[in-house]
Amino acid sequence: MDGEYVDALVATAPDGIAFDDLHVTHGSDGYTFRTPDVDRSGIDEETLRTVAASPYARNWYFWHATAPQKADRWAFLRWLEGAQQRDVAERYDALADGIAATWGELHLTVSRSDGERTYGVRHRADADVGTSALDTYDDPLDAREIAKHDDDGDYRPLKTAPSLRTGWAFPELSASEFVTTVDAFYPATIANWHREREGDLDVTHWRETVDRQTGIYGVVRTWDRGDGHEHVNWVAEACCDDSQCLKRREWQYDDETDLDVDGGSGAFPCREPCSLVIAGARKWTKLEGEQSRTYEFELTPSEKEQLEDIIDAVADGEAEDIREADIYEGANRYRARFLRAKLFDDEGNLGGVETE
Amino acid sequence: MDEALVIAAHGSHLNAESSTPTYDHADTIRATGAFAEVRESFWKEEPSFREALRTVDADEVYLVPLFISEGYFTEQVIPREFRLDDWDPELWDSDGTSATHATLSAADTGQTVHYCGPAGTHDAMSDVIVQRAESVTGDPDVGEGFGLAVVGHGTERNENSAKAIQYHADRIRERGRFDEVQSLFMDEDPKVDDVADYFESDDVVVVPLFIADGFHTQEDIPEDMGLTDDYRTGYDVPTTVEGHDIWYAGAVGTEPLMADVVLERAADAGADVSAAIAQVREETGGAKPATGD
């Protein structure tokens, strides 16, 4: 390895190297090698080889021969080790201790030992857990299986739902394995994050997305009725909140019309309504086509509040967390069963009133 | 120049196993090293069709739909979502089962995309159906004394859906390996419910032409055929129904040899993958030449 990066540096010198405070050239008077610590010119190849045994040359070699060269993957790795904020000397000091960052629910690490960068991925909740206490993996594609189910074993149809399973680690990955792993957990997030940084994110707004729907989803195109985009606010509030998805919604109603609800605070941008949002909107398009009616039945104030509690608990995914005997909670199962026993008739009608 | 394979599959919001065959076949192909990258993409999961290409480094992409038939998904949804703006179904010049490929450019990434016909209508799919029959019976020579039912969804909305099923049933029938071959459907005649009525053979292998095991292949079809009253209680293979032993195979798309069909699609579109095809056929038990072709 030592010889390899020096060989590469010597071979590339005639083209000129200017990267991360390393400058190397080759002219008629010999080689020039310059870093913040060393400034040599007019040297021969043998001397160049000696001075090239430097973190600056190793760093140049890593970024041009080892790291994935696709622009977004490269930029992501640079972001992780803070290449824009730290010069090479600072970075190599930091890498000796390890540098960490958060990506959604992922805890990402990079460290350097024996001259090589090593990357790690685990759940952010396991950041301080000893690796021996976690299930360890070395194949990036195992992330696809880990991402499939949450800690309760339930299927996660949305990869960016904040329900990533814990208890696993990819402790020792190469640079390219690392980006593959991150991309398996959160597909396309690196690509879209990079596009956004470059001012190149192609956002497709709601109106344009629903206009191209066909088949069973074609009905979503008729969504605009009455209150126009207010309906879309409800969709975004239902689906695109931080509590449901770690992407930050960048799409709006259309080019001119922003939605009123907050898009969330995720690190990676959401550039158009996803398939879950469209599937939900299809259902709501049908439901919202109904006219409201007046039903009359009686509730005590506490019963009305209990219904509100139940809807809140289900909407926030908290129903299962309510303790079995906690009858002080409106959404407690016994409370709900009592309400059903009292208010439902044999056909399941609330207050004995038919739905019609 | 680096080339990538992108597999486009349906996926599911509800069923965790829907994507499993796609992952499995992608892994098989990835291991051959035939492509610089192999990427799964899904209509219902991530990466979505809309974003898969931007996660691929290669400038040249072979895009293979892991779908059974030509129709709505292959002609409308996939080209639209992958932003193959100059796509026109005429480019495939297909009679419903004869699509090969068309070369287009993706509007958002500029990559060259060789858009291939669906895996399900490739001739090699007939071999996978036969292999599935071998797998479920545990008999590499299964055929004599056996009937084979190729089962499709069937729908009045898309005539190509049934065409793909009939195409393979006809091809396998012509080989003469099975005593009888019949195409049956869930939603149109002849129906899979009456499977016993369509065969004289005592033993019948039933192979559903679906990519993944899910609601239809695990619940509907076994119950419709009378293998079980309740799919949750399971069923035997074979199960005797009206005097016939029914060897129910489950979704053909889970057969490992399916990876070969994906590669064949890319090869037909110009990918240099002959070594990978040989390797995959060897590894997945499809090495022997198809008989009767």
Over range A233-244, report the average pLDDT: 94
Contact B27/A at CB under 8 A:
yes
CA atoms within 13 A on the CB side of B60: 11
Sheet holding A135-136, edge to edge: A99-103, A106-113, A116-123, A168-173, A135-136
Provide the pLDDT for residue B286: 74
- Contact state of B14 with A191 under an 8 Å Cβ cutoff: no
What pLDDT is attached to residue B152? 94
Q: Can you tell me which residue has the tokens 């709900």?
A: A336
Cβ neighbours of B46 in A, within 8 Å: 158-160, 187-188, 274
pLDDT string in tens for chain B (293-residue length): 699 999 999 999 999 999 999 999 999 999 999 999 999 999 999 999 999 999 999 999 999 999 999 999 999 999 999 999 999 999 999 999 999 999 999 999 999 999 999 999 999 999 999 999 999 999 999 999 999 999 998 876 677 889 999 999 999 999 999 999 999 999 889 999 999 999 999 999 999 999 999 888 999 999 999 999 999 999 999 999 999 999 999 999 999 999 999 999 999 999 999 999 999 999 998 765 544 44
Say what the alpha-carbon torsion angle B15, B20, B122, B47 is, to the nearest 10 degrees.
80
Calculate what percentage of chain A has a pLDDT beyond 70: 98
Could you give phi then psi for residue B48, rounded to 5 degrees? Answer: -75, 160
Q: How many CB pairs under 8 A join A and B?
A: 62
Taking the CA of residue B223 and the nearest CA in chain A, the distance in Å comes to 25
Global ipTM: 0.93
Would you call B50 an interface residue with chain A, using a CB distance cutoff of 8 Å?
yes
CA distance A148 to chain B (A): 7
Q: Please, what is the average pLDDT of chain A?
A: 94
Q: How far are the Cα atoms of A178, B42, B169 from residue A158, in angstroms, in the given order?
A: 21, 12, 38
Are the beta carbons of B46 and A158 separated by less than 8 Å?
yes
Q: Which residue of B has its CA nearest to A202?
A: B108
Question: What confidence score (pLDDT) does residue A263 get?
Answer: 93
Question: Are A188 and B48 in contact (CB < 8 Å)?
Answer: yes
Reported as a pLDDT band with limits 50, 70 and 90, residue A2 is low
Q: Closest partner residue to B46 among A69, A187, A212, by Cβ? A: A187
Q: What is the pLDDT of residue B156?
A: 65
User: Do residue B54 and residue A192 have CB atoms under 8 angstroms apart?
Assistant: yes
Contacts of A285 (CB under 8 A, 6+ apart): A219, A220, A222, A223
Condensed to tens digits (0 to 9), the pLDDT of residues A100-143 reads: 999 999 999 999 988 899 999 999 999 999 999 999 999 999 99
Taking a C-beta distance cutoff of 8 angstroms, is the pair B199, B210 a contact? no
Residue B291, pLDDT score = 46
Q: Give the pLDDT confidence score for residue A226 in this predicted structure.
A: 55
Query: CB atoms < 10 A from the CB of A57, how many?
Result: 24
Please state, in angstroms and rounded to a whole number, the distance separating the CA atoms of residues A262 and B120: 44
pLDDT for the residue numbered B187: 87
| Binding-site residues on chain A for chain B (CB distance < 8 A) | 68-70, 73, 141, 144, 148-149, 155, 157-160, 183, 187-188, 190-192, 195, 202, 212, 214-215, 271-272, 274-276, 279
Distance to chain A for B52, nearest Cα, Å: 7
The residue among A275, A276, A283 with the most chain B CBs within 10 A of its CB, best to mutate, is A275
Whether B77 has its CB under 8 Å from any CB of chain A: the answer is yes
Backbone angles phi, psi at B198, to 5 degrees: -100, 0
Look at A69-73, A350-354, B249-253, B285-289 and tell me which has the smallest mean pLDDT: B285-289
Q: H or E element: which one contains A132?
A: none
Nearest to A148 among B16, B44, B80 (CB): B16
Residue A159 with chain B: CB contacts under 8 Å:
45-46
Please tell me the predicted confidence (pLDDT) of residue A229. Answer: 78
Q: Of residues A329 and B214, which shows the higher confidence score?
A: A329
- With CA atoms as reference, the chain B residue closest to A155 would be B16
Scanning the structure block, which residue is given the tokens 């119950």? B223
* A73, pLDDT greater than 90: yes
A162-200 pLDDT, tens digit per residue, is: 999 999 999 999 999 999 999 999 999 999 999 999 999
List CB contacts (< 8 A) between A274 and chain B.
46, 48
The tokens of B106 are what?
A: 């993706």
Cα A333 from Cα B212, distance rounded (Å) = 37
